[in-house]
Structures are given as C-alpha cells and as structure tokens.
Structure 1
Amino acid sequence: MRIVIAGGHGRIALRLERLLAERGDEVAGMIRRPGQAGDLLAAGAEPVVCDLESAGVADVSRHLEGADAAVFAAGAGPGSGSARKETVDRAAAVLFADAAEAAGVRRFVVVSSMGADREPPEGTDPVFAAYLRAKGAADADIRSRAGLDWTILRPGRLTDEPGTGRVALSAGSTGRGDVARDDVAAVLAALLSEDERGAVGLTLELIGGDTPVAEAVRGLAGQPG
C-alpha cells in the first residue's frame, strides 16, 4: 500500500511511518519545514513538503495521486493559539479530505480527540476549547462524505510511555484514560491493513486496555457507527 500522512513529523506520525515502512508499505509524510525531512527518512518515509495552511486542493491532491490511503495526523500543537486550531485542526483536515476525494483516494483515517463531539464544559481553557470545537467540526465534515471510506480515531490522554500492545477500542465510549503514542500508532497501522475494513464509517475511542491491538481492531466488524 501507498499511504500519505498529513502532519508527517508529529510524534504519532513518526511512529506510524516506522511501523508501516517496517511491514513493507510505501509511506509519504507531509511536512511544513524541509529541515524535518531527515527524521522522516530515518523512519522509512518519503518527506513531502506541503503547508496545508497555505496550499490549495490541487497542490495537495497531486501528492495523493496513486495513494491507497490517507491519514490526517496534523495538529496546530502546543503553544499555538485559537486561530491556528481553526486553520490546522479544522480547515487543514477539510482541505486534506477534499484533496483525497479529488485524487480518488477513498480510505481516509483521522486522528482526532476524545471529547470532540461535545461542547467543552464551562471553565475549559479557551484555547483547548477552540481545539475541541475545531476537531469536532472537522470530524463532522469527514463523516458527511460519501466519497470517503473514513475512520475517525479519538485517543485519550497521550503519553510517551512505551506501548503495551494492549488497548481498549470501541465505537462506543471507552471512558477516560491514558494511551501511549506507541499504541495509537499500532492501532492506526492495523486500521490501514489491506484486509481490515470493519472500521470504515466508525468513530472510535481509544485508551490503554487489555485487548491486543490486532484483536481489538478485528473486533470492530459489525459495531454500529
């Protein structure tokens, strides 16, 4: 498979690129800064310089031509203000989906956030509230598209602890919890397997748990969206 990842220098994306390259997939990661290319090459991915905040659909779609799947793992990141939550976490996700449709790429996976479907509680930090709203709006847009075989993955609180290879993954609610970035990447890789279609059309919650990743992903078949 050829898989193109937006936000290719992110901490989840670099882990995912390594996993996909190790199993023999062809991986490209979109980055904004040419100086990040070395990290992608070390992970086994082709670096593609493309700024989703300034590019147009045609610019992005040419990088997606011939791909079997696209993954939106970009984010404005810590230290960014509310405005960039809108331009990256919402608008760039919508642009990437538009480009995937234009390039004929049906399989589309989004790394979102737990809590993105709800209005943030009163007292939530304003920037974090803007992030959740942006993620929720992007997810709603993706879910409305008949031209994409989409899956939205909403991890709990991310950690850099070593992955356990065991998770709780559900199209319902998992409850709050932590999850290692290693395990998020492993779940994404499993969702992108050529023979794994049970997660299409599902919005999933993910935290650390007791079920091996491959088993958790296989168990999604038949779950209501």
Structure 2
Amino acid sequence: MPKLLIFGGGGAIARKLAAAATPTHKVVSVIRNDGHAADLAALGAKPLILSLEDASVADLADVLSAEKPDAVVFAAGAGSADRTRAVDYEGAVKVYDALEKSGTRRFLLVSAWDARNRDKPPPKHYTEASLKSSDWVWDKLKDYYIAKRDAEVELHRRKDIDYTVVRPVLLTDEPAGGATLGLATGGKVSRELVAKVLLALADRPETAGLTLDLADGEDSVEWAVARVVEERPDAWED
C-alpha cells in the first residue's frame, strides 16, 4: 500500500482525507495533541503527535525519514488569528525544509481560492461576482490570505519538491458531489470533495507544478483530475 502522511491531521478536511484514504493507503496523521488520536485510529490512520509550531525542521525531517511516505499533504490550519502566521506560513515553510532535508518529493498544499497578489490585476477568468467575493474574503481574513499567499510563493521557489497546490473556495459540510478543478470563479465546495480530490491528486504525480482552484461542479473527481493532467490549467500568477 502507498503511504500518505498528513500534517494538520486533526482538521476537518484531513480527517475526511484519512477516512477516504485508509481503504487503499497507509495513513499517518500528524496532530498537535491527542484530541483526535482516538478518532483517527478508529478510521485506520496512525496518529502521530507533533506540534508544527514547536517542532524543528530536523524533527519534521526525522518523521519523514522514518515514515517514508509516498506523498505528504499539508492541511494544517491555525484555527485562531493569533496563530495564523506561525502555522499557515511558518509551519508550511518548515515542512518544505523538512521535505528537502529528507529527500521526500511528492507534496500537496491545501491553500485557499484567491490567494493572489492583489497589487496586480485579477485573473482573467474572474467575474464581477468573483471580485466581490475576493473583496469580502480579504476584508474578513486578510492575515490568513497573506499567510497562504506567502506559503505559495515560497513553495514555488522550491525545485526539489514535486508539489501540487489545491485552492478550495468557501468550504461547506455538504456531501461530496461533482467538481470544478483548475480555474474557478468562486462559489462553494464540500470538505468531503476536497479530501477526495486530494487523494486522487496524491496518486497523480503528473499534476506536479500545478496550482488548482477547486469548487463544487459537474465533473466526477476522476474526470476532473484526468482533465487537469491532460490540459494542465494553472491558477498560479506570480
């Protein structure tokens, strides 16, 4: 079985990812404390307690070297404004450093739709509704979006990481349906769908180098992933 290691394993998307992955993958879920350990173990995942804020790059690299995952997912989130920079940016960069130190290449980053440079014109596929949504999320969650954008910028500089960035739009707890993967104009997306797409992308190294928006849509996960492999749409704009 291929092995998937998830940073931020106690989060809602990460727990759904563990549930989706355990039938076909070994799963290691890295969690900050033991609050979700029993739930993750019941899903068939291996809980591993390690705080991204407290761990050193060497600590993280040791975990990766010991576990030897086929793919790593960064789904960690601060959960509070005072920890946003430390987790969503600094924690991510420590993981990048650890990936390089351990020689682990396949990596998926859970970012956020519209994590862009707002000093430049908006993407050409944006609509008027997209721009209103952009203004709203940046007004409400500016520090979060800056951290996510900075984490993306730093990741794109790393040449020894085979990364795929997934940018979900507004998250919901609805059951997973169809997907829009590649370029999205906004909307909503099921956390369960995000997990299913992450799992599918983890097994498709051909998606390395892509930054992909993700929203609810009409395509099956399999078709959506096959299409991005063929067409290579990219939401990244430097």
Partner SS state of residue 232, structure 2: coil
Is the partner of 2:73 in helix, strand or coil?
A: strand
1:218 to 211, 226, 236: 226
Unaligned regions of 5+ residues in structure 2, if any?
119-133
CA-CA distance at 1:123 after TM superposition: 9.4
Task: Indicate which of 205, 210, 226 corresponds to 1:197.
Answer: 205
| Residue 162, structure 1, aligned to residue 175, structure 2 | yes
C-alpha separation in 2, matches of 1:224 and 1:138: 20
Secondary structure (helix, strand or coil) at the match of 2:205 reads: coil
User: Residues of 1 paired with 2:31 and 2:212: CA distance?
Assistant: 26
For 1:180, the equivalent position in structure 2 comes to 190
Give 2:126's aligned residue: none
Distance (whole Å) between structure 2 residues aligned to residue 107 and residue 139 of structure 1: 15
User: Aligned residue for 2:157?
Assistant: 144
- CA shift at 1:67, angstroms? 1.4
- Structure 1 residue 44, shift from structure 2 partner: 1.4
Cα gap change, 1:167 to 1:63, in 2 (>3 Å): same
Per-residue deviation at 1:198? 2.7
> Residue type matched to 1:133 in 2?
I
Stretches of structure 1 that go unaligned for 5 or more consecutive residues are none
Whether the 8 Å contact between 1:11 and 1:181 is mirrored in structure 2 is yes
**Inter-partner Cα distance in structure 2 for 1:71 and 1:13:** 9
1:169-224 CA distance string (max 9 Å, x none): 01xx310110101110000010011xx22311000000000000011001112415
Q: Which residue of 2 aligns with 1:71?
A: 73
Partner of 2:52: 52
Deviation at 1:163, TM superposition (A): 1.0
Distance in 1, matches of 2:101 and 2:84, equals 24
Contact 2:138–2:145 (8 Å) recurs in 1: no
The yes-or-no answer on 1:130 pairing with 2:130 is no
Over residues 32-71 of structure 1, what are the superposed CA-to-partner deviations in whole Å (9 max), with x where a residue is unaligned? 1123210110221100111000110111111112111110
Question: 1:73 is matched by which residue type in structure 2?
Answer: A
Distance in 2, matches of 1:72 and 1:151, equals 11
Corresponding letter in the other structure for 1:116 = A
Cα distance, 1:22 vs. partner?
1.2
Question: Shift of residue 125 of structure 1?
Answer: 3.8
What secondary structure does 1:220 align onto? helix
Normalising by structure 1, report the TM-score: 0.91
Partner residue, 1:7: 8
CA distance in 2, matches of 1:87, 1:123: 20
Question: What RMSD over aligned residues (CA atoms) do the two structures have, in Å?
Answer: 1.6
Tell me if structure 2 keeps the 8 A contact 1:191–1:199.
Answer: yes
Contact 2:212 2:233 in 1 (8 A): no
Report the AA paired with residue 31 of structure 1: I
**2:17–2:195 CA contact under 8 A, matched in 1:** yes
Give the counterpart letter for 1:107 in structure 2. Answer: R
**In structure 1, C-alpha distance between the alignment counterparts of 2:5 and 2:40, rounded to whole Å:** 12
Q: 1:123 to 1:64 in 2, by over 3 A?
A: closer
